Structures are given as C-alpha cells and as structure tokens.
Structure 1
Amino acid sequence: MSAPPPPGRSLNRRHLMGLAALAVLAASWGIGRRRSAAPAVTEKLSIALPQAPHAGLIHIAAARGFFEERGLAVTVLAQTHGKAALAELLRGGADLAAAADVPIVIEVLKGAPLSIAAAVASASNELAVLARRDREIASPGELQGRRVGVTLGTSGEYFLWAFMVRHRLAPQSLVLVDLSPTRLVEALRSGSVDAIAAWQPVRHEAELALGDAIVSFRAPDAYAQNYVLVGRSEFLSARGEALRRLLLALLDAERFVQTDPLQAKTLLAERLKLSTEALEPAWQALELEVDEQQAQLVTLEDVAGWAMARGYAPTQPMPNFLAHLNFTALQAASPGRVTVVR
C-alpha cells in the first residue's frame, strides 16, 4: 500500500469532510488495507508514549492494529507527558519516545545522542496562559510579579516565554512554579499560583472547572510547536526497517483520521480516557501529520537559544540540528514528506 501524498499546511482537513473525494479515498483505503499482508518477520519496538492528544497517531495506530499489519510488535509504555517519555528513553527503558521539541533540544544541548525520526503532530495556537480574575489579572501586563505554574523544561515553559515576549513583557518578571501537568489545575483552583501555562487537555479542564473565575490569554503563532518521534541516533540508524514500518503504520493512522475523523476522535478519546468533549479543543488545534519540515530546523534553533539563555544547558555554539534529524526511514516510507534542505 502506498503512502498518502503530503498534505498542505494551509489545508484544514476537517473542512474537507463533506467532499466526495474523501469518500473515494476512504473506499480505496479500505480496499488497500484488505489486500495488505503483514511481513513474515516481525520487528519489535517499545515506545514511551504520553497520554496526550499530541501523540494521537501513535495511539490510533496501536488501537486499530496498524502496527501489526505492518509487521511490528509494539510495546507502549504509558507516560504522563513528553518530558517524562523522553526521560524513559534516556534511561534505557524504551527504544523510542514521543515528545515536544523543547525537552529534546535541551537534552541535545547536554550532549544526548538523539535524533528525530519524524514529526507526528503540530500546533500553533494550542497553549494558553490561564489566570485568576480575583487576583486582579485582566490583561497580560498584570501577570508581572505573579506566581505562574508551569512544567519547567517543556513546551509549556517555552510558550510562556514566547507569550511574554509577544506582549512586550520581561519574562524574568514572573515567579515560575514548577508543577507536573497533573497538578496545574488544582494549583490554580486552590490559589497557590496566580496563573498557569497549559496545553490541551489540561487547558480545557481548567477552563471547564473554573469558568468565569479565570481569564484565558493566547498568543497565536507565537510558538509553532512540533511533537516528534525521537530515539538514540545509533538505534535509528541500526533499525531502519523497523522505523520504516512504524512510519508506514503512522501514515495509515493519518489516513484513518482524514477519512473517518469522527471514529478516529472517538477512538483517541477512549485511549486517553477522556470524553470526546474534553478532547475536542485539542482535536481542533492539532494537525496530526507525519513529516519532516524545513521550518522545524528554525524552531529547534530558536528553542536552543532560549534553553541556553535560561541556563538549561551550557552556552555553546549553535548545534547543527540537521545532524539530529534522521530522514532515512521517512524517505523510504514516503519521500514527499521530507522537505528539509540538506
């Protein structure tokens, strides 16, 4: 079965649900699946996987049996968020991890031999800063000097920095309180922090629980977040066939999302133990697509500059992040998905 052509970033697939072309694509996809047969040799992989919508394609591929159809035996190791998944990979507990780009860049700057196999999701307007109205915070400028809960060393903290810069505020004027994603909403509810920076579905949970008691601040396009599949460079080089099959399975999952978005959303909500209503904001904000885009290199360098300034890694010359992108498997699975100049 051939891989689907690369989708355009400007195209919102949910706006195409009513087009007849999708019905044709759905029919051909079903026929292609019935004709496919799993390879005789099964490849084994383990993935540290966050219980988060950003890793949706991996969750869907596991639930729908796409890994098995591609001749893979995949062990999923559940994690709370991407930074925790990356930590599991680095301590040798998993072959691969799904995580946002920020913690990966920090570990690369520290010398970790990591490479990215592909992006599996992207978003530019998913994160937000949520503040308590009773602390007299009605605008971004009134965040200065306040205690803000955030998971340090993650895309949440990087977004918070980008948010402050976008609003011409000194990021160092905040008092950052390091909290795991599972503790953010309760900290905001109890008042131990004045505000939080959160991604979905934590953001939706806070907005639902606290309603008019909080105000939500966004910064569209301040941070183009990428969620990626990462592994040790040596492992990715040695297991090219397993990775090719894995990416084909994720392309199968992407096609499933395009052809039957309602069923895909329902399935993902079940995997994440969320209601479809709780998943909906993330579902609308995320592009669940497999690719390696040129723009990703720019984001990696921007994050690296921030991470060094923040003290997460020693000051050093900007790394060549091109050396930390592994194109081999995605090129073999679907060459058009790789747009990085190299």
Structure 2
Amino acid sequence: MTGLAALAMFATWLGVSRRRTAQPSVTEKLSIALPQAPHAGLIHLAAAQGLFESHGLAVTVLAQTHGKAALAALLSGGADMAAAADVPVVIEVLKGAPLGIVAAVASASNELAVLARQDQRGVSPADLQGRRVGVTLGTSGEYFLWAFMVRHRLAPQSLTLVDLPPSELVGALRDGRVDAIAAWQPVRQEAELALGGAVASFTAPDAYAQNYVLAGRSDVLAGRGEALRRLMLALLDAERLVQAFPAKAKTLLAGRLKLGPDALEPAWQALELGVDQQQDQLITLEDIAGWAMARRYAPVQPMPNFLSHLSLDALQAVSPDRVTVVR
C-alpha cells in the first residue's frame, strides 16, 4: 500500500469512527494530567485526533513530565484524572488517597532496564554492588530496580539509590554522578545512544508486569459516570486506530510527544497499548503494596482490598469483555 493510499484509508476510517454514533447534545468536560510519555499513548492519540470530541467530551490535557507528577497534580485538585504507572497509584492508596482506577491503558513486561557504565571493561549485574544507581524514587523505575535485584540475588542495601527526575538520569550517568540508572523508554534509549559502548543495558523479562492506568479520585468518579463511559469509547477508538494503522498512529504519537520516530520505536515495540481491567492486576497491586510498605513509602498496614479501588462500571458498560475482574 502506498503512503497516499494508507493516508486516504486512515482519513476514511477516522471519518467513519466520528460518525459511528450521534454527537451527544450535552458536552461533558474532563481534565487529565497526562505524562509526555509513550505509555499514555492512547490518551495522546485520542486528543490529537478529535476522538474525545466525537463522543461529546471536552478534555483538557495538563502536560506532566511523568506519571508520579501527573498523580500529584490530580491529588492537589489540579485535574479530574491522571495517567500513571501502577506503582505511584498504589503508594498513594496506602497513604490514604481515595483513588479509583478506571482502566489500564498500556502494559509492558520488558521495557524497563538498568543501564550501567562499563568504562574500560564489561560489567555484570553483580558488579552493581556498592554502586550509586540513579532512579526516580516511588515510581515503576524503582520497583523494577527492586525486582531486578531480586532476580539477580542482590541485596537491596548493597546499592546506593540516588533520587533523580527522569530528565536528569541520562546526564547524571554520562557525567559520572551515578554509576548506573534504572529507566523506562524513551529515557533508556536516550542513555544507550548518548553513551554508546560505554553503557551496558540489563533487563529482567517478566520480573515486573507493568500497567499504566487512568485514575481519579473515587468521589469524583462516582458522579461522572456518563463522562467516563464516553472516555472509554474514545480510548477504544484510539486502540482501534493503533491496530488498524500502526505506522500512522506511531507517527502521530511521535509528533505529539515531540520525539523522532526512531526515538519512539523501542517504546512502541515494548508497549501494548490497550484498554482493559484484568483480574491479574490485583496480584500486581498487592505485590507493589508489600514492597512499598517495606520501603516505608507508607505505614505498615493490613493489605488493602484493591478491588474497591477499581472503578469498573464505565468500561463494563461499553465493552464488558474487557473486564475480567471477579466481583
């Protein structure tokens, strides 16, 4: 298929998608604190292609650097919803925040990595003992680092963790302020390109099945049922766009994130962009909670019932096959 033919098919698909349902007479409004990250790709694509408007939603996107920052904006009252990895959401729930997860919007099991300097000689995971590791504390990056250490039988206290925002990780590694970093895409690729053969990348496939979720305050979500149903419809349209026109969707997302196509490619390959609420996420949430309490990110307490923090009704109403949670 030529580029022009593919573009024509995409335009036709988009028009049909927008006409599939009658435009609602009343527009619902939502504000979403949204990381400039590939993990939030479905939300970015829906905003870029007018899919929210086609379902009677006026969505204000509040750009954030990463999911933990987006969640902070939500909890401070600056947004109705936020997209973030499951780790910071669990930490806030343990601290008493009344949060509900409306849907998972992306998942990955082999996207995060530990990148270590290997000047003059090779390194192995065991060589990280006693080293300084840059990581954004309280995020999926830190949880992955813990899972990585468990996989390689490294004692957590054998590393010195240096708390850095995602934007400073590559520079700190390059300048020698840290010996290694734990990073997600596209930060991971940026480090690999910046240091070339001077850095070794270590992954731990399936050590952590990361979910990126869309969350809101439970009291707000309870009164926004219609807005949430429309939101789910728009995100399902964005998922269909990714499936039907992956090259076009990737180009659109790269532009939205101000990334070159090559910079986005590793994340695009590693992530599964999809809308669901799966039973197995409850196991992951409990695993993260145990780790978070051990790390003293929240008081030690009985394990919360995370089922009560899943807001299932909106997705159940529009696509019940996407919800496998037992209630």
TM-score range, shorter chain: over 0.9
Partners of 2:103 and 2:236 in 1: CA distance: 11
Aligned AA for 2:18? R
Q: Is 1:55 aligned to 2:40, yes or no?
A: yes
Partners of 1:306 and 1:30 in 2: CA distance: 47
Partners of 2:185 and 2:13 in 1: CA distance: 33
Aligned AA for 1:313? A
Q: Is 1:297 aligned to 2:282, yes or no?
A: yes
Q: CA deviation at 1:171?
A: 1.6
Q: CA deviation at 1:33?
A: 3.5
Q: Is 1:231 aligned to 2:216, yes or no?
A: yes
SS at match of 1:86: helix
Match of 2:24 in 1: 39
Partners of 2:121 and 2:28 in 1: CA distance: 57
Deviations for 1:127-146, whole angstroms, at most 9, x for unmatched residues? 00000002856100000110
Match of 1:122 in 2: 107
Q: CA deviation at 1:36?
A: 3.0
Aligned AA for 1:164? M
Aligned AA for 2:71? L
1:97–1:231 CA contact under 8 A, matched in 2: yes
Q: Is 1:312 aligned to 2:297, yes or no?
A: yes
Which residues of 2 match residues 181-260 of structure 1 at below 5 A? 181-260=166-245
Structure 2 residue corresponding to 1:103, chosen from 79, 83, 88: 88
Q: CA deviation at 1:169?
A: 1.0
Q: CA deviation at 1:38?
A: 1.7
2:106–2:273 CA contact under 8 A, matched in 1: yes
1:137–1:143 CA contact under 8 A, matched in 2: no
Match of 2:165 in 1: 180
Match of 2:310 in 1: 325
The TM-score normalised by the length of structure 2 is 0.95
Structure 1 residue corresponding to 2:264, chosen from 262, 268, 279: 279
2:10–2:245 CA contact under 8 A, matched in 1: no
1:151–1:157 CA contact under 8 A, matched in 2: yes
Match of 1:133 in 2: 118
Cα 1:314–1:136, aligned 2, differ >3 Å: closer, same or farther? Answer: farther
How many equivalent pairs are there? 319
- Structure 1 residue runs of 5 or longer lacking an equivalent are 1-23
Q: Is 1:155 aligned to 2:140, yes or no?
A: yes
Structure 2 residue corresponding to 1:171, chosen from 156, 168, 174: 156
2:18–2:51 CA contact under 8 A, matched in 1: no
Match of 2:5 in 1: none
Partners of 1:38 and 1:44 in 2: CA distance: 15
Partners of 1:177 and 1:115 in 2: CA distance: 31
Match of 1:16 in 2: none
SS at match of 1:99: strand
Q: Pairwise CA RMSD of aligned residues?
A: 1.6
Partners of 1:340 and 1:60 in 2: CA distance: 27
Aligned AA for 1:190? D
SS at match of 1:117: strand
Deviations for 1:202-224, whole angstroms, at most 9, x for unmatched residues? 00000011110100000000000
Give aligned-pair identity as a percent.
Answer: 79
SS at match of 2:273: coil
- Structure 2 residue runs of 5 or longer lacking an equivalent are 1-8
1:67–1:74 CA contact under 8 A, matched in 2: yes
Partners of 2:118 and 2:129 in 1: CA distance: 14
Deviations for 1:139-186, whole angstroms, at most 9, x for unmatched residues? 000001100000000000000000000011112210000000000000
The TM-score normalised by the length of structure 1 is 0.91
Deviations for 1:227-273, whole angstroms, at most 9, x for unmatched residues? 00000001111101000000100000000000000000000000000
Cα 1:270–1:26, aligned 2, differ >3 Å: closer, same or farther? Answer: closer
1:131–1:194 CA contact under 8 A, matched in 2: yes
